[in-house]
Amino acid sequence: MKNLILLLFFCLSFCFLNAQTARESSTPTPNYRAAAKYSPTNLGKLVHSTSVRPHWLKNGNRFWYQYKTTEGSKYYIVDADKRSKKELFDNEKMARWLTEITKDPYDAKHLPRFNFEFVKNETAIRFYVTSTEKVEEEKEVEDEGENGEEETDSTKTKKKKKGKPKMVNKVYHFEYVLGSNNLTVLSNKKKGKEEWKKWANIAPDSSVVLFSKNYNLYWMDKENFLKAVENEKDSTIVENQWTTDGELYYSYGGSSGRGETNESMKKNKDKRQRIYGLWSHDSKKFVFQRTDSRHINELWVINTTASKRPTLETYKYHMPGEDEFYKTELHVFDMPTKSSLQVQLDTVKQQSVQVYREPLKKSNYDDDFNPALLLSKKGKIYYNTISRDRKKLDICVADINTGESKVLIEERFNTYIESRPLVLLNDETEMLHWAERTGWAHYYLYDINGNLKNQITNGSFHVERAIGVDDESRTLYFTAHGIPKDQDPYYEHLYKVNLNGTGLKALNPGNFNTRTDMADSNGFFVSNYSRVNTVPKSELRNSAGKVVLELEEADLSQLMATGYKFPEPFKMKADDGITDIYGVMYRPFEMDSTKKYPLLEYVYPGPQTEAVNKSFSVRMDRLDRMAQVGFIVVTMGNRGGHPDRSKWYHNYGYGNLRDYGLADKRHVAEQLADKHDFIDIEKVGIYGHSGGGFMSTAAILVYPDFFKAAVSSAGNHDNAIYNSWWSETHHGVQEETDEDGNTKYKYIIDNNQSLADNLKGRLMLITGDVDNNVHPGGTIRMANALIKANKRFDFMLMPGQRHGFGSMTEYSFWLRADHFSKHLLGKEATEVDITEINRDKPKTKS
């Protein structure tokens, strides 16, 4: 009997070892070299332009654009009215002219990157080129008069500074007349630094310039401003102080302290700084939104790598549930009289204020001077207020001369209200208002007094934004999602509809995601289109939707030569078994059919967006590259995610901001494993950044037996110390008023650290130490809870890095690769050097 038991034990042990060996042999080996091929640096050599970005001109429906392929960059000018596209210049000739003039060698494929200025009624272009030739920098100093006395402005002369001259690269300022056969040198004077752009807010008619100094509003006239343009430190510049009550955190422009050290704030307060606001179209009024944040608590980060001494950065940061809130004032400054008044706002209510501005014309995008203008040309200030709990939105109008204000449109909702810019039309007698009052986003037509005339768009689809309005034909052009029911609802298209709600028409239909750029005339638009699994293309269409010109097709030849394969879109069901969830699967390009691959989910919970590409993208560092290490990588939506679907879908997570998307992530992974034999559902990892860092940690703690490994970077693990706008909007905050009429704000939310005891899998936490968006305190609190729970985990602090990790982004990729390779593929990277980063770097130092 004893021998029989021993024999049975031996057989079971043998079977277990065989099963374990089989599982290990079926696991792929990490392929770091394959992942290294698709680093951002290498991709920049493989993929160039993937879309057309039109620079619309002011005369006619014309634009120019640059497009780069494996043959180099070319510049084109398109005349939509004439249905013509031609090269802006001949590359061969341009290379010859530049070589002859500058004496530096150029060829047609390797021209410098140009930044054009169109001149002479858009018949010529001007641009700068810097040569390798060294010349003396011409510096002038003021000469002293006789007897060593300083001369006056009217008598002083200039002379070159004595001593060893500074040598600089010679600069050429060129002009090329379109269609001509030569290139003209205008001068060798380099383009000025234009330091004035950092502080000067110039009136539309250039008569006066506003700026901030010592937290107050200052102004100077055009004559003195031109002196400042020539020499910022000219002692004869006359500055005029307008206000005297400005102070730190209750100022008229200038710095708010965000991103500045305490020392630099003190140093810069005496300098001219920018004041942001909106001008009336006649340049007589300036509307400034003044915020009082003196009573808001401060937050800090310490930059230990910035200088010889670690530097402290102090800034105001409002956290959810705090009773105090920002207080807003709207000031109107009158230029002729140098007087001011305030718009009548209810300062008792805790609310945010936004003043509507006139949209910038596409043909003005490249202009150096683009003053921000009020929406109205008729002495009105249109603005909205939204309550602190984001459930009450009022669209208001104020008289710019008296400050008297009234409410035009009210929106109320039990979750949170979102908005789009107000649109004025028909000589400011009508308004277009965007709202989600039916559960879907649509446009509504109002008269100027706030009376509803009719709903313009209607149906189970999401209207994204108004692109243009034709008053004469009474046509609205807009982008939308989900109108074709046989497509991915996230695909965006351009449509037009009559203002009475009839005549809805798709202008760039097709089973693709599109990005459009429309001319100011609304007569033509550029449509860039692709899916994640197609080559991007660009075309020009007219307002009827007809293709006028085929513009470009992306050159992916070098990318495909590396063995690249497109990812695969998929559609699965959410955990409710009803809601459609859309995602994308990324595979290793050289899959082994005998292997079973661990599954990785790259996540972002929303609610602003979902981390699911809809168009082809060259940003592969978090997806395609990670798959090449030896994983199946998927991204997918979840209920409560993207706003481009129904209001129900978008607001699903309201009141449950930690857990709302996790069940869908788990359920879809199981469906994918049922469909694909190559997915190892026993080895599932999850990773993400920011909200994705928060979600990935929540996932491994809420479903500890399903998610076996996670990497969470810059996560807001404790939303009670994240910014109030995001947390209170998407989770909710309760207003409670006591018997004396005092309002308190109640905010209760689940955090990740409360689940630290649940950890079974392998977790890595990463944060930047000067992240002033998602404070490192959130990650440190998570680490603290794990230590107290006696859990093993990995932790990495990125020195001197903000929220996006900056120069350490590549390093963070390989941290993720190492973590998942060790815990899901069973192979640990033990070398000290990350050779995949070092391999491509030239060794110029020992």
The CATH architecture annotation of domain 563-717+752-838 reads: 3-Layer(aba) Sandwich (3.40)
Both tokens assigned to 545: 């939707």
* Domain 200-273+275-417 top-level CATH class: mainly beta
Give the predicted TM-score (pTM) of the model: 0.92
Question: What DSSP designation does 632 have?
Answer: E
Question: What SS3 state is found at 381?
Answer: strand
Instruction: Note whether 663 and 699 are within 8 A (CB).
Output: no
The CATH architecture annotation of domain 420-553 reads: 6 Propeller (2.120)
> Which residues touch 731 (CB under 8 Å, ≥6 apart)?
320, 653, 654, 655, 656, 657, 719, 747, 749
**How far apart are alpha carbons 507 and 589 in whole angstroms?**
36
The residue behind tokens 């002033």 is 772
Q: Which helix (H) or strand (E) covers residue 672, if one does?
A: helix 662-675
Exposed/middle/buried for 121, CB within 10 Å: 0-12, 13-18, 19+? exposed
Predicted pLDDT at 614:
96
Instruction: Note whether 672 and 635 are within 8 A (CB).
Output: no
Mean pLDDT in runs of 10 for the chain (846 residues)?
59 50 76 93 93 97 97 97 97 97 96 93 96 83 42 44 80 97 94 88 97 96 94 94 96 84 82 96 98 95 88 94 94 97 92 97 94 97 97 98 97 97 98 98 98 98 98 97 97 98 98 98 98 98 98 97 96 98 97 96 93 91 92 97 96 93 97 97 98 97 98 96 93 87 88 97 98 96 98 97 95 97 96 88 72
Predicted pLDDT at 143:
44
Q: Give 98-103's long-range contacts (Cβ < 8 A, gap of 24+).
A: 98/129, 98/183, 101/172, 101/183, 101/185, 102/129, 102/131, 102/133, 102/170, 102/172, 103/131, 103/133
Q: How many CB atoms lie within 10 A of CB 779?
A: 30
Distance of CA 318 to the CA centre of its chain: 22
Is-same-fold flag (200-273+275-417; 420-553)?
Answer: no
Amino acid at 642: H
Taking Cα atoms as reference points, which of 480, 517, 484 lies closest to residue 495?
480
Annotated domain spans of the chain: 48-139+163-193, 200-273+275-417, 420-553, 563-717+752-838
Instruction: Note whether 291 and 277 are within 8 A (CB).
Output: no
Taking Cα atoms as reference points, which of 597, 656, 660 lies closest to residue 632?
597
**How far apart are alpha carbons 260 and 300 in whole angstroms?**
11
Q: How many CB atoms lie within 10 A of CB 529?
A: 23
- Chain length of the chain: 846
**How far apart are alpha carbons 118 and 366 in whole angstroms?**
10
Q: How many CB atoms lie within 10 A of CB 200?
A: 18
**How far apart are alpha carbons 682 and 597 in whole angstroms?**
10
Angle, to 10 degrees, between the axis of helix 662-675 and the axis of helix 691-702? 70
Instruction: Note whether 264 and 294 are within 8 A (CB).
Output: no
Q: Which helix (H) or strand (E) covers residue 355, if one does?
A: strand 351-355
Sheet holding 430-435, edge to edge: 423-425, 430-435, 442-447, 452-455
